[in-house]
Amino acid sequence: MYRIGFDIGGTNIAAGLVDEKGTIVSRFTLPFEKEAYRGALAEKLAGMVKAIIANSGIKAEEVASVGLAVPGSIDPKAEVVLDAYNLDLHDVPLRAEVQAELPEYPVLLINDADAAAVAELYGGAFSAAKTAVLLTLGTGVGGGVIIGGRLWRGGMGHGVELGHMALDISGRMCTCGVRGCIEANCAATSLITAAREALASGERGLLYERCGGDPMRINAKTVVDAARENDPAASHIFRDYVNALSSAVVSVIHLLDPEVIAIGGGVSLAGDFLFAPLREKVREKCFFDTFARIEPARYGNDAGILGAAMLGATEI
Ligand SMILES: [Zn+2]
């Protein structure tokens, strides 16, 4: 049997046919056209399902489920896209709409961060784990929680907001309007903010050199690279960042005692430069002597497709 997963993004709709082991065996991508798809998205997705089946040479009845991953909030019953700003979808009952177009398959809806967590169960960082947490460090901090081998959707259906757990109640203002969330301290953006603050206070080392004196050209990689080269200001910023991230990871460990915590998103590409000091700091702070493995997430761009497809295997 196969499953089809969609990763619906603001630029492209990516779809994949996924086998039982969680391998993407064929792909199909279309540009996402906001105007053209207004009110016609479900029809478009159903058309893509039919095209994938025809192009892959499989029989229609070999598809066990269709999953839709969207970058936005969905309702507690996983039926309605409440707000997906990049897609301009608001209060759209997308699951039912696609189900009506494809009555022959179970259709499931999932948030893209949750999809990324489900994906790691299949040959990724969560292989063989039953309890695991994904933290994605990007513009914000997102992630998902796996309990008992299934996505944890929360007792009230809201899922989890790992990025908005409190880390420093008198710290930086978060995008959500509350001070000191994990997101305000551990997003890639917080590396950039700290670097810009350093430049504003007169720092003239590698950070200044690499951005040509223009703070707007600083990105997270600028800071990580300068820290790797032992630039004092960048090293200080990166050490503070790892310190904050380790506290976030320790809180997650103390709450759930998971087997694995995977770290994804742009900052995780720093590799051992991030993971070695992170593991050391977690060891210093953790209440337990033995605790979760802390690993890079395996799936980047494929996480949405794979998680949306394999959601059917974990939930049906
Ligand atoms: Zn927040």
* pLDDT tier for residue 261 given thresholds of 50, 70 and 90: very high
Give the rounded percent of residues in the chain with a pLDDT score beyond 70.
100
Residue 37 pLDDT > 80: no
Residue 153 CA to ligand 1 centre (angstroms): 19
How far is ligand 1, taken at its centre, from the CA of residue 186, in Å? 11
* Bigger pLDDT: 38 vs 249: 249
**Mean pLDDT of the 14-41 span:** 90
Domains and CATH numbers, the chain: 2-122+301-315 (3.30.420.40), 132-296 (3.30.420.40)
What spacing in Å lies between the alpha carbon of 184 and ligand 1's midpoint? 7
CA–CA dist 311, 316 (Å, integer): 8
- Tell me the pLDDT tens digit for each residue of 230-247: 999 999 999 999 999 999
Please say if the pLDDT value at position 34 is more than 80. no
CA 154 to ligand 1 center in whole angstroms: 18
User: What is the Å distance from ligand 1's center to 275 Cα?
Assistant: 24
Ligand 1 centre to CA of 120 (Å) is: 25
Q: What is the pLDDT of residues 120-172, one digit of tens each?
A: 999 999 999 999 999 999 989 999 999 999 999 999 988 899 999 999 999 99
- Specify the residue for token string 């997963």: 5
- Output the CA 248–ligand 1 centroid distance in Å: 13
Q: What is the side-by-side order of every strand in the sheet holding 81-84? A: 73-74, 81-84, 89-92
Q: What is the distance in A from the centroid of ligand 1 to the CA of 66?
A: 32
Cβ-contact 71, 86 below 8 angstroms: yes
pLDDT tens for each residue of 60-112: 999 999 999 999 999 999 999 999 988 989 999 999 999 999 999 999 999 99
Lowest mean pLDDT among 158-162, 252-256, 283-287: 158-162
Tell me the C-alpha distance between 133 and 140, whole Å.
Answer: 16
pLDDT of residue 35: 75
What average pLDDT does the segment 247-261 reach? 98
pLDDT at 260: 98
- Centre of ligand 1 from the C-alpha of residue 223, in Å: 23
Note the pLDDT tens digit of each residue in 43-53.
Answer: 999 999 999 99
* Distance (Å) from CA 35 to ligand 1 centroid: 32
- Determine the pLDDT at residue 10: 87
Flag whether the pTM goes above 0.85.
yes
| pLDDT above 80: residue 38 | no
